[in-house]
Amino acid sequence: MTGSGTILVGLAASPGIAIGRCWTVERRKVRTPKRRIGAEEVEAEVARLRTALEVSDLQLADVRGKVAGPDAVGGAEHTAIIDMHRMMLKDEMLVLEAQRLIREERLNAEWAVKRALRKIKGAFHEHADEYFKERRADIDFVGERVIKNLLGQAPDVDEQPPEGAIVVAHDLSPADTALLLHERKVAAFVTDAGAKTSHTAIVARALEVPAVVGTGRVTACAKRGDWIVVDGGRGLVVINPSASELEEYEAARARRLEDEKQLLQTRDLPARTLDDVTVRLAGNIEFAEEVPSLLAHGGEAVGLYRTEFLYMGRSDLPDEEEHYQNYRRILEALGPRPVTIRTFDLGGDKLPAGMRVNADNPALGLRAIRYCLRQPEMFRVQLRALLRASVHGNLKIMFPMISGVAELRAARRALEEAREELRREGVPMKDVPVGIMIELPSAAMIADRLVRECDFFSIGTNDLIQYTIGIDRQNKDVAYLYKPLHLAVLRMLKIVCDAARAAGVPVSMCGEMAGEPVNALVLLGLGVTELSMNGPSIPVVKRVLRAAKASDGRVLLERILSMTFADDIEREVREEMTRRFPGLLEQEAAVGAVSG
Ligand code: PEP
Ligand code: MG
């Protein structure tokens, strides 16, 4: 090989370097035939629809059977999403609406399915965040399967890739990903479409298979058999690399393997500083499936379980039993380790299908705890399930977006009512610590009052920074202002941590700031007692903490609090960290798989 390969830049979906041969998966979009039918065809068309739905369900059951076996790799990673797709097939909004369209508007079954799905998708705003856009993709995958079945086409990948292949596709459905991964043959994934929150990305992270998504054109640039390098940590793909590029990546892969081995040596050791301060390192999860990876990276707890996923990609609401089973599974997987489950944080345009509320500015609207308090019945279902699940582990309940004491009391009252109900029903429960997210400036400023009425704080810096500096966290145009080390943010953090310390209440941090090793010394200085982050970030943060002194953190904090400009503060922190921990900041935060 001479010259250099074609380099594509996509989204860093799952870290790790893989080198292997390209194996393309054809996933051509299905064309939906549209036809008006005669009155005499209506019943036959409804029957075709029913059959296609049944066949789709059988296919998914089959995929599930393949990936859920005891020897299957990552079975649990896939079954939840496949179950969700099976539920969507039975969704009234799909089935009844498609039947209605066939009967009343005389559409053929394919067209009726397409229209019904469009209506369901309409419930997700066009400009909803990435995560919710991806749930729209789930609806597409389900719809495509039904339409393909109506047309007699095979909806699933039917060929297994050779061992060590780099799978290249326009997009992959959850069922495709499950089928491709369950024999652990695939070295990496690269797709044209997708986002960091697509199912492929989430599963790839959970199984530690490197992945780059959203490249836009990998299927146009690579063909079966081409050599491909995937650098999942940097979102880079090199097609047909030159000999020197290949050598470079081989060396990077070897270094990474070595780093990983070293970092994981401390997996079972506490994150204790040289001056004996211990910080609990916990994980943020969105799916139960992420738990094994979290534990493999030395996670000591779940610091934040975002329960929103349970509500998404569907038009009905999860019932109490579904909530309960989900929480129970996570609690049992963590054993005696704490699991902080956050009640659902949706609202504005982030709502389950059919439950839209109008708001021009959803980030400031009826979201999170505000929405729950407005929908007491829905809230009650979640609270009852949480309390029922409490007997299966070490549960903590957390309320998001608390803005003041009255709101905290209202949320606690709702919890007490649920507890009282269950008590009357004779349902066993355990005492559960109740905490709040500190992610609004109002909450930070009155942390001394809030702390008297809850058992722990968890600082959500993603939102706290958004609301403090007044920048939309989704808006690229103002991203340059998003500065965790802005003096205003630092002062806010100090107020919160001081209030917690004075009251003897633990204070966690679960925003992205917590998982960036460069911040570790500052956070030690603040006196944070738990840091919650993505599992793969844990080993590097632990390494810094074990080599640090909290007293040095306090000195650094005092120094930067006397400065003015965020850029100066950032530079000061970076220089101090580079001096104290040479080489460390260059180390990739994520310890992903190395394969190929
Ligand atoms: C936060 O706001 O920092 C946080 C952890 O919550 P989310 O990212 O889910 O809004
Ligand atoms: Mg938040």
Please tell me the predicted confidence (pLDDT) of residue 197: 59
Q: Is the CB of 308 under 6 A from ligand 1?
A: no
CA distance 150 to 144: 10
> Which of 85, 118, 151 is a domain's end point?
151
- Ramachandran angles phi, psi of 475, nearest 5°: -95, 110
Question: Residue 129 belongs to what domain range?
Answer: 39-151
88 in Cβ contact with 95 (< 8 Å): no
Please tell me the predicted confidence (pLDDT) of residue 222: 94
The verdict on residue 262 lying in a domain is: no
Same domain, 138 and 245: no
AA letter at 258: E
The verdict on residue 33 lying in a domain is: no
Q: Is the CB of 303 under 6 A from ligand 1?
A: no
Q: Is the CB of 510 under 6 A from ligand 1?
A: yes
296 against 409, higher pLDDT: 409
Among 66-75, 165-174, 200-209, the minimum mean pLDDT is found in: 66-75
Q: Produce one character per residue of 283-304: b if its CB has 16 or more CB atoms within 10 Å, e if not.
A: bbbbbbbbbbbbbebbbbbbbb
The verdict on residue 258 lying in a domain is: no
Quick one: which of 313, 288, 389, 324 has its CA closest to 76?
A: 288
Three-state secondary structure of 164-211: CCEEEECCCCHHHHHHHHCCCCCCEEEECCCCCCCHHHHHHHHHCCCE
The mean per-residue pLDDT over the stretch 353-375 comes to 78
Same domain, 66 and 191: no
What CATH number is associated with residue 522?
A: 3.20.20.60
> Which of 135, 151, 167 is a domain's end point?
151
Please tell me the predicted confidence (pLDDT) of residue 129: 55
- Residues tagged active-site: 199, 510
Same domain, 224 and 343: no
175 against 411, higher pLDDT: 411
Among 110-119, 411-420, 525-534, the minimum mean pLDDT is found in: 110-119
CA distance 107 to 98: 9
Same domain, 187 and 223: yes
Same domain, 120 and 74: yes
170 against 302, higher pLDDT: 302
As a whole number, the mean pLDDT across the chain is: 87
Same domain, 174 and 195: yes
Among 62-66, 128-132, 483-487, 565-569, the minimum mean pLDDT is found in: 128-132
The verdict on residue 451 lying in a domain is: yes
Same domain, 406 and 483: yes
Among 161-170, 380-389, 419-428, the minimum mean pLDDT is found in: 161-170
The verdict on residue 367 lying in a domain is: yes
Same domain, 60 and 136: yes
Find the ligand nearest to 459 CA.
Answer: 1
- Give the pLDDT band of residue 1 (cuts 50, 70, 90): very low
> Which of 205, 223, 252 is a domain's end point?
252
**What residue owns the CA closest to ligand 1's atom 6?**
460
Same domain, 300 and 231: no
- Give the pLDDT band of residue 312 (cuts 50, 70, 90): low
Please tell me the predicted confidence (pLDDT) of residue 2: 47
The verdict on residue 511 lying in a domain is: yes
Same domain, 415 and 434: yes
The mean per-residue pLDDT over the stretch 163-176 comes to 86
**What residue owns the CA closest to ligand 1's atom 1?**
460
Q: Is the dihedral of CA 442, 448, 453, 455 positive or negative?
A: positive
270 in Cβ contact with 278 (< 8 Å): yes
Q: What's the number of domains the chain is made of?
A: 3
Best residue among 130, 305, 345 to mutate for probing ligand 1, ranked by most atoms within 8 Å of CB: 345
The verdict on residue 171 lying in a domain is: yes
- Give the pLDDT band of residue 27 (cuts 50, 70, 90): low
What CATH number is associated with residue 243?
A: 3.50.30.10
The verdict on residue 309 lying in a domain is: yes
Same domain, 164 and 297: no
439 in Cβ contact with 401 (< 8 Å): yes
CA distance 198 to 134: 6
CA 239 to ligand 2 centroid distance, Å: 38
Same domain, 391 and 414: yes
531 against 480, higher pLDDT: 531
Please tell me the predicted confidence (pLDDT) of residue 589: 39
Q: Is the CB of 363 under 6 A from ligand 1?
A: no
